[in-house]
Structure 1
Amino acid sequence: MSQKFQVDGMSCSHCAESVTQAVRQVDPEAQVTVDLPTGHVDVLTHQPREDIRLAIENAGYRAA
């Protein structure tokens, strides 16, 4: 299932990698696409949306 998030606080490739790694701690096989200029993060996963959102927020970013 595809999930879309608006993530605030990402400004560089390290931020994008941090978000990707946070998602993959919940689902190691998730496909994560980060668009830094817009702050959009698309996640292809079967995990609950709330689990993915919390993982992103626990990495230090705001996700909606």
Structure 2
Amino acid sequence: MRVLIPVLLSAVALAGCQRPAPPNPERPPQPQAMAKAINQPLDRAKAVQKTLDEAAERERKAEADAQ
């Protein structure tokens, strides 16, 4: 009886494990985590640069209008 329970639990655990579905050859794979980890800080930096450029342009325009 003591041997039967672990064997049954092992069989149930193995039955729950299934092979993953094969990838669809017609659809390209989704972007990987590494690409996201690289691009996310770059995108954030580009957004900050755009904000700074817009603020500098507004400041230049305000100085030009003041003269």
Q: Answer whether TM exceeds 0.5 for this pair.
A: no
The structure with higher relative contact order (CA 8 Å, sep 6+) is 1
TM-score (norm 1): 0.26
Select the structure of larger CA radius of gyration.
Answer: 2
User: TM-score scaled to structure 2, two decimals?
Assistant: 0.24
